[in-house]
Amino acid sequence: MQKVEKLYPESGVELKPFTAKNYDKIMNLLSFGLYRRFIHKAIEDIQIKPTDKILDLGCGTGRNDALMLKYLDENGRITGLDLSPIMQKQFERRFSHEKRVQFIQQRIDIPFDLGKKFDIVFISFVLHGFPQDVRNTIIENAATHLNPGGKFVVLDFAEFNMQKMPALHRKIFKTIECPYAFDFIKRDWKELLSKKGFDSFKENFYFKNYVRLLKTSKK
């Protein structure tokens, strides 16, 4: 099998081919089946409107998009962006008969412009896996593609002190997560997003407050 060079060697969000091909199954297995229930609740908490136009940054297999689609009527739309051809194949197979959903192979870590605006830009467990300068670019891409008043929705780790975690939780986090995640949890994301033109913050917490759905609006 051809070796795939990672763009960011220390990142945990750039997946190896086997992991990408079996991503949904691996997530279910590692979470002991809890991920399925959790992600349903998180998508519900976004409060999607029937006509929303949604952009999913780092959409993967489209699992989250399939859940979001249930809240949309015939006028709602979802556009998923991902770099991985393996993810693209699974995404397009999942939505092969669904005209409201589109996949675009696109890097989200560099500036881009799709030439259209969205009501929601969603990103799930991707932002923590990059250096801070790249995160800033991703946030700027989100702002570029949002209508005024549109929602930027970040599902990712919350802010917490890793040293105050129970020993077992800390060991698991340090074992499975990349160095960028250790930096991510220390930052004040409301303050950072405020500086990027966002306000009106709302949040929901999961998994003993280690995970957060952060919703904010473009000014």
Give domain status of residue 67, yes or no.
yes
Q: Domain span at residue 115?
A: 17-218
Give domain status of residue 6, yes or no.
no
Confidence band, pLDDT 50/70/90 cuts, at residue 33:
low
How many structural domains comprise the chain?
A: 1
**CATH at residue 146:** 3.40.50.150
Confidence band, pLDDT 50/70/90 cuts, at residue 12:
low
pLDDT > 70? residue 2: no
pLDDT > 50? residue 20: no
Residue 39 is predicted with a pLDDT of 92
Give domain status of residue 10, yes or no.
no
Give domain status of residue 42, yes or no.
yes
Confidence band, pLDDT 50/70/90 cuts, at residue 11:
confident
pLDDT tens column, 161-185: 988 888 988 887 888 788 999 999 9
pLDDT > 50? residue 75: yes
Give domain status of residue 22, yes or no.
yes
User: CA 121, CA 128: separation in Å to the nearest integer?
Assistant: 16
69 within 8 A of 101, measured Cβ to Cβ: yes
Give domain status of residue 79, yes or no.
yes
First to last CA, the chain: 47
Q: Is 2 strand, coil or helix?
A: coil
Written in H, E and C, the secondary structure of 48-87 is: CCCCCEEEEECCCCCHHHHHHHCCCCCCCEEEEEECCHHH
Give domain status of residue 61, yes or no.
yes
> For 182-204, what is the mean pLDDT?
97
User: CA 142, CA 139: separation in Å to the nearest integer?
Assistant: 5
| Pairing between β-strand 118-124 and β-strand 101-105 as defined by DSSP bridges | unpaired
Give domain status of residue 46, yes or no.
yes
